[in-house]
Chains A and B, each alone.
Chain A
Amino acid sequence: MVSVVELCLVGILTVFVVLLILTVTIKVMIELTSKLEERKYEKKLFSEFKNEIFAGILGALTVHTGSLSSPPKQYSTVFQPKISLWKFADRLRDEKVGWMEKAKIEKLSKNEKFNV
């Protein structure tokens, strides 16, 4: 059996080393994840900014043409780039609706009491 002094010294040292390593590991983890989250947030901000600009363009076009779902016929041949923009806007909207439906279903299934 170990001696009392050995047990005390080894015990104190072990607890100190383990908790010190945990301190450093957790600190590193916090720093890394914080940086990753910051980047993610920046990306999100940037994409929101892009959406804002896009919405601005759409808004301007809507005012101009009075329609959101299809490009105005009178411009369809003249403004080809705008037609692709309209198609892109429609796709975005569809995707958004799909995503919202999915989120709703997920939320409902989580509320289900016996959902194993």
Chain B
Amino acid sequence: MVDVGAFMFGFFETGFESLTLGNLIMIGIGLVLIYLAISKEMEPLLLLPIGFGAILANLPLTGLTENGGLLEIIFRYGIEWEVIPPLIFLGLGALTDFEPLLADPKTFLLGFAAQIGIFISLLLAILAGFSLPEACSIGIIGGADGPTTIYVTQKLAPHLLGGTAVAAYSYMAMVPLIQPPVIRVLTSLEERKIVMKPLRKISKQQKILFPIIVGIVSILFVPKAAPLIGMFMLGNLFRESGVVERLSKTAQNELMNILTIFLGIAVGSSMTAENFLKPSTLLIFAIGIIAFTACTATGIFFAKLMNLFLKEKINPLIGAAGVSAVPMSARVVQREAQKANPQNFLLMHAMGPNVAGVIGSAIVAGVFLGAIL
């Protein structure tokens, strides 16, 4: 392969000679990500551009990841300048219906409970030898929130960005595989059968007030969460106000799609062989899955704890939806509940903690940034 020549007709240098084993492995990893995105439909919107970005970043002599190169520019202005993750939150806000959470506000607390797993994984990461900022970046994977993970990692441990981002999105895609065993182990059949009464109707006025109140209260408490929470709530206000339909639709579709392309490419570009092929990456993946499991478990336990004080019992399964993989974990809860009792419809009940989890993980991110930076 090397004999093809370092120079093509003596005019310009080819990449063959500079190709290292690390580059080849990373190109292989990029191909695996593309395969998972296309064949298994695992988070294809992210894993596909990440995979191709990783391939591009590992082709030698392109200059793409060097200062002034295309991928470097996308990474610098998109991720380093903190533009893309908060704007993705704007789109998420415009896509999110908070009605289930408004109809049953106590499910906010389940959104809290699922975040305890983040701290458990943080401790594990510290025990595994990571520094505190690195451990925070790894722990936040458990929140099951890609943009939050990227936002925190970029601020606290940018050298881990490729590993944490890929771990977060891969595990988010694997929620239907990771959560059911945990749910079945931690709940009895009787608990899974608990039927919850239908949720109340929420008025437009209440839906409009929600993002304003949540935005002000949470940012006053955790100012460093402002970029994420602020954009999330603004996007939701676009949606619920009903007077800026064009902005709402743009945030939900065009803007979100453009940002997703840039985010994927930027994350992929950070997956160079020297950044990614380290024992720490394997550890990140290992702790990441523990983080996911721990968040699911703490959500379920907290739902059981709440049942001790509630007159109308809640189905503990909805605690598992406190991780912010929206709406994947709510769907998993619905499926598990229907297996136990085909007449049980928990989807909307699970959406409450699910969207509360997004707010919860953004607040945890704000706490980490506030305490460490």
Contacts and interface: CB of A to CB of B under 8 A. Distances in A.
Interface of A: 1-2, 4, 7-8, 10-12, 14-23, 25-27, 29-30, 33-34, 37
Centre residue among B102, B359, B367, B368 by max chain A CB count within 10 A: B367
Interface of B: 101-102, 105-106, 108-109, 111-112, 115-116, 119, 122-123, 126, 132, 135-136, 202-203, 205-206, 209-210, 213-214, 217-218, 221-222, 356, 359-360, 363-364, 367-368, 371-372
A11 B225 CA distance: 13
Contact of B214 (A1, A4, A22, A37): A22
B132 A18 contact: no
A37 B203 contact: yes
A103 to B, nearest CB: 15
Nearest to A23: B108
Contact of A33 (B116, B209, B214, B217): B209
Contacts of A14: 221-222, 363, 367
Contacts of B205: 33, 37
B206 A11 contact: no
A4 B126 contact: yes
Nearest to A17: B221
Contacts of B135: 4
B109 A11 contact: no
Contacts of B122: 4, 7-8
Contact of B105 (A1, A4, A26): A26
Contacts, number: 99
Contacts of B102: 26, 30
Contact of A22 (B115, B132, B217): B217
A10 B69 CA distance: 42
B156 to A, nearest CB: 11
Centre residue among A14, A17, A26 by max chain B CB count within 10 A: A26
B203 A18 contact: no
A84 B363 CA distance: 64
Contact of A19 (B109, B126, B210): B109
A62 to B, nearest CB: 38
Contacts of B222: 14, 18
A19 B360 contact: yes
A37 B202 CA distance: 11
B217 A21 contact: yes
Contacts of B218: 18, 22
A15 B132 contact: no
Contacts of A19: 108-109, 111-112, 356, 359-360, 363
Given A1-B132, A2-B372, A37-B205, A29 B213 contact: yes
A34 B200 CA distance: 11
A116 B218 CA distance: 32
Given A14-B222, A18-B221, A29-B209, 9 more contacts: A2-B132, A15-B360, A17-B221, A19-B360, A19-B363, A22-B217, A26-B102, A26-B105, A34-B206
